[in-house]
């Protein structure tokens, strides 16, 4: 589901021109290499990735101050392994305790590299979050050799102060062609939203990795977070994401936004959508209008000014980084 909005920002127009050069063989090979590194289970690559993720969270935390220093603090790190985000938080904040969720290694996931000193303050749940029972009704079976898993948190769970939603569909997890990766990605994004909204403490912070704010589904999620949180910010860490279309939204005071009264309506709608995805009614894929119950095209048109305000610096960083990459190649680097 790759519908884009007709935004008119000059930064986005520049970026579109540079994005079209991704089909240049050298750049296409570079992106393919980055994908292989993100999926790889090679210990050396995973150690480098672990350290890079520490730098990413440090960059975000220094700007937005996601973690309090002087009060007890509970966080949930979804898609945590190899564990760089959790390592940064636990090493800097002695009152923090964390829970992580990650795809099991035998299913293509990564090992946990978190330092042993922090294991007493960290609980790891090995799981495919797209297989949790996240619907409004029980779904006992949704295809050959598949099953759903019991949701790990009780309805009266106290909630987390910070939830990090950083999972991505691993190509090592897909069993067929590229369509399987897209199916995994669609299920993952809806599962992550449900998990985040269900488990966040009122007034907490959700940090989520997204891609392309001009894409309709991304814009709808940004709108949702903007309406449900008291403060929404965006950031593109330059050490990993500079020439990628990925970025992070940081939604603080979640549940304190101007449309907080629609919280449970939206969560119910997302759980209905999860059922349609996993049961197979939609062949596992999102449709262009699946999140229109959050905000439709007319609402997005009215939101376009705010969307561009949140996105302009993201487009600018990506465009400048792509331009520098091409210039370096032309100069023989």
pLDDT, tens only, 173-205: 444 555 577 788 999 999 999 999 999 999 999
Handedness of CA 155, 203, 218, 79 (dihedral sign): negative
The backbone region for 29, taken as left when phi is positive above 0, alpha when psi lies in -120 to 50, beta otherwise, is: alpha
Give Cα separations from 264 to 12, 171, 246 (angstroms).
Answer: 34, 33, 28
Q: What is the pLDDT of residue 151?
A: 87
Q: What is the pLDDT of residue 25?
A: 64
Which of helix, strand or coil describes residue 260? helix
Q: What is the pLDDT of residue 180?
A: 75
Q: Which domain holds residue 30?
A: 10-330
Q: What is the pLDDT of residue 17?
A: 87
| Whether 5 contacts 214, CB under 8 Å | yes
Q: What angle do CA 203, 257, 259 make, to 5 degrees?
A: 130
pTM score: 0.90
Please check whether residue 164 lies inside any domain of the structure. Answer: yes
Please check whether residue 5 lies inside any domain of the structure. Answer: no
Give the helix, strand, coil percentages of the chain, each rounded to 5: 50, 15, 35
**φ/ψ of residue 101, rounded to 5:** -130, 135
Paired sense of beta strands 160-165 and 200-211, if any:
parallel
Please check whether residue 4 lies inside any domain of the structure. Answer: no
Task: Say which CATH number the domain at 278 has.
Answer: 3.40.50.12760
d(CA 223, CA 227): 6
Task: Tally the domains of the chain.
Answer: 1
pLDDT in tens, 270-295: 999 998 888 766 677 899 999 999 99
pLDDT < 50: residue spans in the chain: 144-145, 173-175
Q: How many CA atoms lie within 13 A of 73 on its CB side?
A: 20
Please check whether residue 74 lies inside any domain of the structure. Answer: yes
Q: What is the pLDDT of residue 145?
A: 42
Q: What is the pLDDT of residue 28?
A: 60
pLDDT in tens, 103-141: 999 988 999 999 999 999 999 999 999 989 898 876 655
Please check whether residue 70 lies inside any domain of the structure. Answer: yes
Q: What is the pLDDT of residue 144?
A: 47
Please check whether residue 3 lies inside any domain of the structure. Answer: no
d(CA 329, CA 323): 10
Please check whether residue 160 lies inside any domain of the structure. Answer: yes
Please check whether residue 157 lies inside any domain of the structure. Answer: yes
Mark 195-220 as b/e (b = at least 16 C-beta within 10 Å): bbbbbbbeebbbbbbbebbbbbbbbb
């Amino acid at each position: 589901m790759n519908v884009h909005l007709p935004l008119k920002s000059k930064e986005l127009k520049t970026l579109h021109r540079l994005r079209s050069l991704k089909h240049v063989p050298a750049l296409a090979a570079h992106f393919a290499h980055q994908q292989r590194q993100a999926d790889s289970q090679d210990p050396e690559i995973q150690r480098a990735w672990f350290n890079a993720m520490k730098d990413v969270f440090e960059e975000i935390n220094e700007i937005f101050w996601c973690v309090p220093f002087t009060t007890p603090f509970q966080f949930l790190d979804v898609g945590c392994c190899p564990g760089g985000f959790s390592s940064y938080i636990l090493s800097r904040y002695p009152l923090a305790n964390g829970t992580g969720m990650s795809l099991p290694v035998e299913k293509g996931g990564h090992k946990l590299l978190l330092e042993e000193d922090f294991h007493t303050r960290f609980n790891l749940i090995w799981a495919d979050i797209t297989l949790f029972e996240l619907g409004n009704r029980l779904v006992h079976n949704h295809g050959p050799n598949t099953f759903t898993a019991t949701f790990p948190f009780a309805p009266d769970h106290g909630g987390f102060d910070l939830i990090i939603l950083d999972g991505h569909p691993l190509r090592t997890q897909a069993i067929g062609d590229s369509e399987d990766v897209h199916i995994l990605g669609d299920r993952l994004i809806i599962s992550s939203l449900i998990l985040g909204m269900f488990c966040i403490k009122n007034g907490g912070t959700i940090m989520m990795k997204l891609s392309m704010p001009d894409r309709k589904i991304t814009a709808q999620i940004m709108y949702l977070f903007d309406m449900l949180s008291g403060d929404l910010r965006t950031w593109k860490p330059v050490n990993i994401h500079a020439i990628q279309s990925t970025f992070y939204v940081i939604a603080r005071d979640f549940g304190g936004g101007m449309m907080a009264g629609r919280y449970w309506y939206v969560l119910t709608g997302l759980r209905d959508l999860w059922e349609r995805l996993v049961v197979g009614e939609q062949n596992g894929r999102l449709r262009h209008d699946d999140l229109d119950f959050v905000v439709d095209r007319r609402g997005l048109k009215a939101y376009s000014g705010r969307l561009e305000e949140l996105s302009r610096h993201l487009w600018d960083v990506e465009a400048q980084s792509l331009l520098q990459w091409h210039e370096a190649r032309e100069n023989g680097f």
